[in-house]
Amino acid sequence: MIYIPEVFMSIGFLIILIISVFVKKNQNIVLGYLSLLLIFLTQFFVLKDIFLFEEIFNNFFVIDSFGSFLKSVILICAGFVIYFYIIVKNDSSLNRSEFSMIILISIIGMMLMVSSNDLLSLFVSIELQSLALYILVSFSKEDFNSSEAGVKYFVIGSLSTCIFLFGSSLIYGLVGSTNFSEISQFMSDQYSVPLLLVVGLIFILVSLSLKISAAPFHMWTPDVYQGSPSLVTAFLSTAPKVAVFGVLIRVLVYPFGEIIVDWGKILVILSIFSMLIGSLGALRQDDLKRLMAYSTINHIGFILMGLVPGSEDGITAICIYLIFYITMNLGVFLFILNMKRDQLNVTKIKDLSGLYKTEPLIAGCLALLFFSMAGIPPLAGFISKLLILNIVIDNNLFFLAIIAVITSVISAFYYIRLVKSMFFDSPTEELDLLTNSQSKLLLSIFGLFNLSVIFYPQFFLNLCASITLSLFALR
Amino acid sequence: MEPFNFLILSSLLFSVGFLGIFINRKNLITILMSIELMLLSANINFIGFSDLLGDLSGQIFSLFILVVAAAEAAIGLAILTIFFKKSNSISVDSINRLKG
């Protein structure tokens, strides 16, 4: 048994499905706890073999520490989201037992994604996660916006699948195999790279950028983020992004590492567009979830920038950025989940005003998270941005670094506007937060984490450096 | 260029599907059909290349695509049904609530 985490997860999922029939009372809560337990146990199996390297199932999947690390991050995200689901009960339309189970299916898909070593297994696992995500986005039957977001997400997701398939068919026709090792072999044998291969790679890149919402392909992001239930948005903005970044790094670095000249330029364009649109688009938003969507696009641009040199340091910085980005995003969404007025969920920015007067602790933590997203010095977001900028400048991409800094300043403006509205505006109408002690505690933990990372950045650096080593080890 | 004729066919099908998604302003079902068309164009490519290379794995890939396309169509239709219940219309222009 070498492929333990995914096999365990799938079997556990089926068992939970059977158990769900016999649970009569509080079905969704009980199943939520069971899923949380399953995620914990799977996390144990992932961490147990984190330094193992093996190619399995006839080279369809590869187990290495890079994949295992991303799996563990994905499991942590999903664990937090399911925990939010259990503690914050503000959306009655999500009170169905399937919710946590569909999250489990999508995690299985993501875990397979980050370890797949063949275009076929990659395609099937991407489909597994996105089919589950389509359902999650349109989960709320009562809310019209949710189903509209579902239609949009479905159309864009399927389009991305089709583009991926067309690209991989071109690559298959040229190489004669869909396996990453054989594609890599083919590349190193070739004297000059055939054009068709680059076209195929561009197709795959476009499809993956549709999934991570990098900028020219970002149109769906604000609508889907706003329309889907807040809990689903929290999930959508963390775990799938990590998984797709894992795939992007694996595909670009390993089989297509030889043509870095070609994909490097594309990534530069993608990241410049993402940073510009992410920072400029958010300026005139009045909805907090839409603003978070643009902030995600901005962060994605930053992360893509670290991949441009395709070096080991860059990928280390990306891993660190992903960890910090997740903590910030989960914290902010935990707050958004708790926003409520007159029994209705509200997500407008003006609802934040005067939060400091009623809930000083929550306002303080939230301000920490927003400052961290903006990259204000002692916080976690600053460290990750610093690392990425360091990589970019080391590789003499000065124009990219300049654009990154300028967009970072622009984006600091709207984060600080949020903080100003929390601390200095007089409250228009009382916002009744669902103040349960667990979410207060979690929010302060997220805030404290972002504050305290400056004292032990070496831990994350060493961890991520030892993780990325496995990507570049000789195969 | 005889053996590569299927590439022309598949590219045409792919373009038709792609344009079908973006030009069509009437019907959401048309979008589902366009997606199906694009998936099938990838299938034609895989099978054609598989024949050309004398390698079976392309045909296996196309079988997988068929299976996934069926699952995707099922979920897409389910989402469309929910949408239709809410808005009483399946025209593309009725998807206009979310914007900013």
Instruction: With CB atoms and an 8 Å threshold, state whether A169 touches B87.
Output: no
Q: Is A349 exposed, middle or buried (0-12, 13-18, 19+ CB in 10 A)?
A: middle
pLDDT tens digit string along B37-90?
999 999 999 999 998 888 888 999 999 999 999 999 999 999 998 888 888 888
Does the distance separating the beta carbons of B100 and A120 come in below 8 Å? no
Q: Could you read off the pLDDT of A400-432 as tens digits, one per residue? A: 999 999 999 999 988 888 888 888 877 766 666
Residues of chain B with Cβ-Cβ distance to A181 below 8 Å are none
Please answer whether residues A410 and A280 qualify as being in contact, where contact means their C-beta atoms are separated by less than 8 angstroms: yes
Cβ of B31 within 8 Å of Cβ of A155? The answer is yes
pLDDT at A49 over 90: no
Mean pLDDT lowest among A190-194, A205-209, A382-386, B57-61: A190-194
How far apart are the C-alpha atoms of A206 and A244, rounded to whole Å?
12
Q: Give residue ranges of B with CB < 8 Å to any A CB.
A: 10, 14, 17-18, 21, 28, 31, 35, 38-39, 41-42, 45-46, 48-49, 52-53, 55, 57-58, 60-61, 64-65, 68, 71-72, 75-76, 79-80, 82-83, 85-87, 95, 97-100
In whole angstroms, give the CA distance from residue B87 to residue B53. Answer: 50
* Nearest residue, CB atoms, B49 vs list A148, A152, A173: A173
For A167, name the nearest residue in chain B, comparing CA atoms only.
Answer: B42
Does A35 reach chain B within 8 Å, measured CB to CB? no
Handedness of CA A150, A85, A335, A132 (dihedral sign): negative
Say if residue A1's pLDDT is above 60: no
At A62, which helix (H) or strand (E)? Answer: strand A61-63
Residue where the block lists tokens 């707050």 = A335
Q: What is the structure's pLDDT at A3?
A: 67
Q: Which of A119, A148, A285 sits opposite B95 (nearest CB)?
A: A148
Sign of the CA dihedral running A135, B21, A122, A222: negative
Least confident of A2-6, A260-264, A293-297, B67-71: A2-6
What ipTM was assigned to the predicted interfaces of this complex? Answer: 0.94
* Structure-block tokens of residue A178: 């869909």
Report the distance separating Cα A370 and Cα A128, nearest Å.
33
- How far, in Å, CA of A13 to CA of A7, rounded? 10
CB contact under 8 A, B75 and A170: no
Q: Is any Cβ of chain B less than 8 angstroms from the Cβ of A217?
A: no
Q: Quick one: which of A132, A260, A153 has its CA closest to A213?
A: A153
pLDDT average, residue stretch B14-20: 91
- Give the A window 186-205 contacts with B, CB below 8 Å: none
For residue A154, what is the nearest residue in chain B, using CA coordinates?
B76
Query: CB-CB: which of B28, B31, B39 is closest to A165?
Result: B39
Provide the sign of the torsion angle of the four alpha carbons A294, A296, A404, A365, taken in this order.
Answer: positive
Taking the CA of residue A151 and the nearest CA in chain B, the distance in Å comes to 6
Q: Which of B62, B83, B85, B87 should we substitute to test contact with A (largest number of A Cβ atoms within 10 Å)?
A: B83
The nearest alpha carbon in chain A to B50 belongs to A173
Angle at A178 between CA A177 and CA A179, to 5 degrees: 95
Q: What stretch of H or E contains A115?
A: helix A98-115
Alpha-carbon torsion A364, A370, A375, A376, what sign? negative
SS3 B25: coil
pLDDT in tens, A198-228: 899 999 999 999 999 888 888 889 999 988 8
Q: Domain coordinates of chain A in residue numbers?
A: 264-475
- Nearest chain A Cα distance for residue B71, angstroms: 8
Q: How far apart are CA A5 and CA B57, in angstroms?
A: 27
pLDDT bin (cut points 50, 70, 90) of residue A65 is confident
**Is the pLDDT score of A327 beyond 70?**
yes
Query: Could you tell me whether strands A340-341 and A344-345 are parallel, antiparallel, or unpaired per DSSP bridges?
Result: antiparallel
The structure's pTM equals: 0.93
pLDDT at position A187 is 84
Distance, in Å, from the CA atom of A314 to the CA atom of A454, rounded to the nearest integer, reads: 20
Q: What is the mean pLDDT of chain A?
A: 87
The answer to whether A174 and A119 are in contact (CB under 8 A) is no
More confident residue, A66 or A350: A66
Of A108-112, A271-275, A463-467, the range with the lowest mean pLDDT is A463-467
